[in-house]
């Protein structure tokens, strides 16, 4: 979809009338919008043809509710024209073509959301389907396919078209969260209907949030990642900080790291390209104009450095002045635009343009990832857990990729299995795959929550005599630092086959390294991932316990040390290898204050050129330096 270039875009509604832009169409006003967005450096537009405007059909019935015919909303009969056969409005489709032409004029590529039946907490479902489930009802499915065939046929050759989006967060139009088969069937139907007409442009997910594997999918309330990924070409994330990580300040490590971690998890487990299709500050109750600019700069740079394929802001213009539904009653439908409602620039738009102007000229290879985070089954908050793992790892300058516990494990020197919860976290087959990696020489690190881990004595090397809930608060000493620890259980043991790397303050073992084949299995009897998940400011407050030292201990035991590293836990360095001799090195400050740092290395190198920022040992808040090195 995006090729090698990182794409920067916005989700577009007209500045003056938002979701009523199609029925209150003003071409001149839209062109003014596009001029302002072009001047702000925007390259992609996500465009929303509201479904009830574009397919304005209803049913006429007679005695006993018997069906007579489907007509337009004003009772005009459908004719035999292409529009009549599809039940679409020619007027609206002509207006869409006008907007697509304007996109082309300003060199925007368009992510076209076909079924915009939900927007800003309100449904926009055609009257014919108001009392039907649009995912499963045969009448709805028939007319949806007609709609797809018409819109794809009409616009497939338009030069502005970049891809076909299923629609805006379609999963919430109706509730089928627990019905994975229905999710799959609907997504496959839409995707196949598009590809029957157009095989040149990718099918884009448009979903806000997906779930990793769960035996009872209804428990998450989400659609399932792997099944959904089978049906689309491009996955999407909508990782707004206020929904994903509301405990921390918006422009600090965890909210920013979550954006990239969620996107990477989708791509790694789903096996399809993924990009950040929506994110933003959601207005000035969470930040100021200035701190919003800091957040956007940091979030954009972090996404880029983590190999994400694109970053789209929600949304193009502030909407706080709009007084009709849903903006009248949806209090987050407010001033969150890249630009003000009068099209004036903001500090955030200026920063986005500045950053994109520079990084667009950098051909950045994928960053090095030394560890694989294995996401357990049946865990409701797996994506937040993955983000915490990313923070702990990257405070040690270690890159992490993601894998589901049911998938084949990619090769790596270190496997992280965080926070075992419940009775079904790992299948037997998953445990056997981890054991085999340890036999071959890798380190497998497993942290315990309150769940059960089969083969516990064999994996841990611990001979358990009993376990109990701790009677008092405990600490664990890691490299001379006392950290609060809240294990679900403490274990009384008769023997440990291996080395106790750390103990709790009551004397019971906390972290044990057990030789296994040519490698080792390290069991932590408390979960630093759980400790940080419940701790406000865990990755930005100076007085927060340094749980990243647990990962430093694990990395040392595993013999994992990145080629480049820093002496500051808020400043993260990555290596992006060009070839055996050359790399691009990126250094990112995830703090909301300026930070000093020193880059160390396990290899000799010389700096060839600086590509972004200044290489002077100090980084402004939420900013980076990127430079090319030659190793010797």
**End-to-end Cα spacing for the chain:** 37
User: What mean pLDDT value characterizes the chain?
Assistant: 96
- Dump pLDDT digits (tens) for 520-530: 999 999 999 99
pTM: 0.96
Contact between 248 and 291 under an 8 Å Cβ cutoff? The reply is: no
Residue 568 carries which DSSP code? Answer: -
Q: Which burial class, exposed, middle or buried, applies to 471 when counting CB atoms under 10 A from its CB (0-12, 13-18, 19+)?
A: exposed
Instruction: Give every CB contact of residue 358 below 8 A, 6+ residues apart in sequence.
Output: 611, 612
pLDDT of residue 631: 95
65 Cα distance to chain centroid: 46
- Dump pLDDT digits (tens) for 477-503: 999 999 999 999 999 999 999 999 999
pLDDT of residue 408: 96
- Dump pLDDT digits (tens) for 393-452: 999 999 999 999 999 999 999 999 999 998 889 999 999 999 999 999 999 999 999 999
Domains of the chain: 7-359 (3.20.20.80), 371-558 (3.40.50.880), 564-631 (2.60.40.1180)
Give mean pLDDT, residues 267-275.
Answer: 97
- Give the H/E segment covering residue 389: helix 382-394
Question: Which residue in this structure is represented by tokens 């448009």?
Answer: 206
Give mean pLDDT, residues 217-228.
Answer: 90
Q: How many CA atoms lie within 13 A of 386 on its CB side?
A: 30
Phi, psi torsion values for 95, nearest 5 degrees: -65, -40
The SS3 of residue 131 is coil
Residue 63 carries which DSSP code? Answer: G
Pairing of strands 109-115, 44-47: parallel
pLDDT of residue 431: 97
Contacts 24+ apart (CB under 8 A), 468-475: 468/492, 470/504, 470/506, 472/506, 474/504, 474/505, 474/506, 475/504, 475/505
The SS3 of residue 577 is strand
DSSP state string for 416-451: EEEEE-SS-SS-HHHHHHHHHHHHTT-EEEEEE-SS
Give CA angle at 227 (224, 228), nearest 5°. Answer: 75
**Does residue 613 register a pLDDT over 70?**
yes
Nearest to 238 by CA among 265, 209, 214: 209
Nearest to 296 by CA among 346, 357, 261, 343: 346
**Does residue 605 register a pLDDT over 80?**
yes
Q: Which burial class, exposed, middle or buried, applies to 181 when counting CB atoms under 10 A from its CB (0-12, 13-18, 19+)?
A: exposed
| Confidence band of 1 (pLDDT split at 50, 70, 90) | low
Q: Hey, what are 509's tokens?
A: 């073992």
Q: Hey, what are 543's tokens?
A: 């007085």
Q: Hey, what are 227's tokens?
A: 């099944």
The SS3 of residue 581 is coil
- Give the H/E segment covering residue 261: helix 253-270
**Does residue 2 register a pLDDT over 70?**
no
Instruction: Give every CB contact of residue 185 below 8 A, 6+ residues apart in sequence.
Output: none
**Does residue 177 register a pLDDT over 90?**
no
- Dump pLDDT digits (tens) for 141-162: 999 999 999 999 999 999 999 9
Q: How many CA atoms lie within 13 A of 564 on its CB side?
A: 29
Contact between 507 and 546 under an 8 Å Cβ cutoff? The reply is: no
**Does residue 217 register a pLDDT over 90?**
no
Residue 407 carries which DSSP code? Answer: S
- Counted residue by residue, the chain has a size of 632
| Confidence band of 221 (pLDDT split at 50, 70, 90) | confident
């Amino acid at each position: 979809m995006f090729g090698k270039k990182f794409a920067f875009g916005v989700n577009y509604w007209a500045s003056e009338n938002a979701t009523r832009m199609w029925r209150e169409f003003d071409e001149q006003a839209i062109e003014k919008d596009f001029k302002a967005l072009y001047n702000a450096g925007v390259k992609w537009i996500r465009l929303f043809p509201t479904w009830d405007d574009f397919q304005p059909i209803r049913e006429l019935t007679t005695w006993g509710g018997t069906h007579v015919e489907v007509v337009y909303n004003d009772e005009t009969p459908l004719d035999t024209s292409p529009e009549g056969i599809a039940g679409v409005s020619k007027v609206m489709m002509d207006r869409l073509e006008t907007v697509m032409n304007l996109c082309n004029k300003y060199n925007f590529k368009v992510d076209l959301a076909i079924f915009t039946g939900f927007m800003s907490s309100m449904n926009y479902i055609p009257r014919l389907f108001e009392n039907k489930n649009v995912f499963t009802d045969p009448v709805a499915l028939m007319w949806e396919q007609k709609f797809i065939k018409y819109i794809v046929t009409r616009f497939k050759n338009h030069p502005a078209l970049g891809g076909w989006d299923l629609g805006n967060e379609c999963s919430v139009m109706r509730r089928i969260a627990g019905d994975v088969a229905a999710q799959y069937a609907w997504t496959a139907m839409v995707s196949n209907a598009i590809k029957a007409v157009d095989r040149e442009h990718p099918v884009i997910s448009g979903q806000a949030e997906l779930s990793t594997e769960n035996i009872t999918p209804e428990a998450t309330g989400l659609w399932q990642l792997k099944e959904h990924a089978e049906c689309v070409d491009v996955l999407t994330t909508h990782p707004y900080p206020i929904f994903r990580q509301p405990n921390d300040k918006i422009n600090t490590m965890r909210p920013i790291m979550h954006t990239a971690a969620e996107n990477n998890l989708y791509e790694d487990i789903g096996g399809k390209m993924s990009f950040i299709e929506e994110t933003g500050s959601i207005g000035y109750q969470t930040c100021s104009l200035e701190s919003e600019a800091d957040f956007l700069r940091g979030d954009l740079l972090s996404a880029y450095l983590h190999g994400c394929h694109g970053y789209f802001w929600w949304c193009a213009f502030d909407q706080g002045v709009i007084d009709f539904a849903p903006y009248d009653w949806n209090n987050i439908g407010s001033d969150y635009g890249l630009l003000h409602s009068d099209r004036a620039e903001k500090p955030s738009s200026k920063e986005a343009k500045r950053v994109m102007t520079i990084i667009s000229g950098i051909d950045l290879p994928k960053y090095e990832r030394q560890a694989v985070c294995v996401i357990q089954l049946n865990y409701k908050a797996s994506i937040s857990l993955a983000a915490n793992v990313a923070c702990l790892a990257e405070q040690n300058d270690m890159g992490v990729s993601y894998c589901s516990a049911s998938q084949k494990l990619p090769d790596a020197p270190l496997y992280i299995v965080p926070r075992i919860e419940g009775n079904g976290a790992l299948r037997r087959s998953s445990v056997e795959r981890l054991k085999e990696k340890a036999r071959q020489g890798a380190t497998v690190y497993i942290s315990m929550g309150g769940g059960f881990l089969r083969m516990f004595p064999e994996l841990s090397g611990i001979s358990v005599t009993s376990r109990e809930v701790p009677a008092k608060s405990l600490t664990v000493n890691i490299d001379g630092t006392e950290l609060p620890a809240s294990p679900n259980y403490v274990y009384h043991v008769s023997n440990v086959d291996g080395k106790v790397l750390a103990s709790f303050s009551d004397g019971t073992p906390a972290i044990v390294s057990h030789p296994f084949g040519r490698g080792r299995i390290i069991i932590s009897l408390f979960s630093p991932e759980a400790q940080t998940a419940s701790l406000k400011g865990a990755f930005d407050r100076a007085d927060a316990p340094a749980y990243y030292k647990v990962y430093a201990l694990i990395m040392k035991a595993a013999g994992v040390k990145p080629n480049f590293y820093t002496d500051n836990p808020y400043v993260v360095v990555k290596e992006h290898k060009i070839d055996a001799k050359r790399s691009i090195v990126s250094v990112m400050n995830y703090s909301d204050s300026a930070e000093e740092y020193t880059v160390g290395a396990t290899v000799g190198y010389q700096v060839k050129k600086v590509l972004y920022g200044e290489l002077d040992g100090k980084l402004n808040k939420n900013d980076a330096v990127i430079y090319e090195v030659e190793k010797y």
